[in-house]
Amino acid sequence: MTFKQLEAFYAAALSSSFAVAAAHLHLSQSSLSKRITELEADLGKVLFDRSGHRSTLTAEGEMLLPLARDILDARSRARATLGRDGSLQGVCRFGMGELAAMSWLPKFVARCRRDYPDLRLEPHVDVGRNLERRVESGELDFAVIAGWSSRPAIASTTIAEVRYRWAGAAAQLEGIDRLTPTLLRDMTVITMPPGAGSTRIFEAWLQENALNVSRQLTCNNMGAIAGMVAAGVGVAFFPEAWLRPLCDRHAIIAIESDPPLRTLDYSFQCRRDDIRSLIAAMRERVLDEVDFAAPHPLW
């Protein structure tokens, strides 16, 4: 029995398929299968039922899983104690929403490049629902997502809180001091797609005020939404810090709503059983670098 065999078994047990597990470990699928087969031969037990569409753990595999986790965790702790936590290598695939990508993602990547020059980073920008699903399946190592996950397999750590404000073109909001549910009923509201964290707080706001919006337009890019708002297409809500430069340039104006939108918590999400030192290192650096008010380097 070797660490590499246990790593292959553990990754396959947590991933949606052997192909995803192999990519996770930067192996070919045949190499991963070989390591698992060698482990099964060493133990004299079949660890995966391969008869169905998807390989699943046998009873013996379920018994081995917590033991493998403890062994791999002990190795990670030994490496950290002996000062080898700076030796992270391979590929780290992670997800972030557009707000993080347009604020502190560049600073985070630069920090990780300095700390771990042998680690290749692959950021994926998408809405939270899609990123959460990919974390659960093992396609992504972690993600920074609005809200907490309701999935039992995913652990969430709150990292920041973001306040949202409404905005519109000056001509559209002329004479309006505060947006109310009554006023909003006759306006076009532009939002991110379903599954985005900001859309969830808007849906909660609608429900709390027993309001149905007759005209809603969805777009998956905040910059494009801001452009449509400036053109008078409709009103929208943006992170307060992200909105400030647009208001300073008089492209759009910010306005409060009554009642206000909820603040939105953001969290670091990973597989609950993922005990790799990579995850602990990335969580620590996310907590150090998270800053949703940071300006984009090109702005």
Residues in CB range of 222: below 8 A, 6 or more apart: 98, 99, 102, 192, 238, 242
Query: pLDDT: is 282 or 198 the higher one?
Result: 282
pLDDT at residue 85 is higher than 70: no
- Residue spans of the domains in the chain: they are 3-82, 90-160+265-289, 162-263
155 touches 272 (CB < 8 A) = yes
Asked, colleague to colleague, whether 90-160+265-289 and 162-263 share their fold, the answer is yes
- 258: how many CB neighbours lie within 10 A of its CB? 11
Bridge partners, 165 (sequence order): 238
39, 70 in Cβ contact below 8 A?
no
Residue 84 has pLDDT above 60, yes or no: no
In CATH, the number for domain 90-160+265-289 is 3.40.190.10
Per-residue pLDDT averaged across 63-91, rounded? 79
Secondary structure of residue 197 in the 3-state scheme? helix
Q: What is the pTM of this model?
A: 0.77
Report whether pLDDT(40) > 90: yes
Length of the chain: 299
Superfamily of 162-263 according to CATH: Periplasmic binding protein-like II (3.40.190.10)
Question: What is residue 107's predicted lDDT score, i.e. its pLDDT?
Answer: 94
- Say how many Å lie between the first and final Cα of the chain, rounded: 53
Alpha-helical regions (H) of the chain: 3-14, 18-24, 29-43, 59-81, 98-101, 105-115, 128-137, 181-184, 197-208, 222-230, 240-248, 277-289
CATH architecture of 3-82: Orthogonal Bundle (1.10)
Q: What is the pLDDT of residue 144?
A: 96
Task: Give 144 or 85, the one with higher predicted confidence.
Answer: 144
Instruction: Quickly state the pLDDT bin for 83 (edges 50, 70, 90).
Output: low
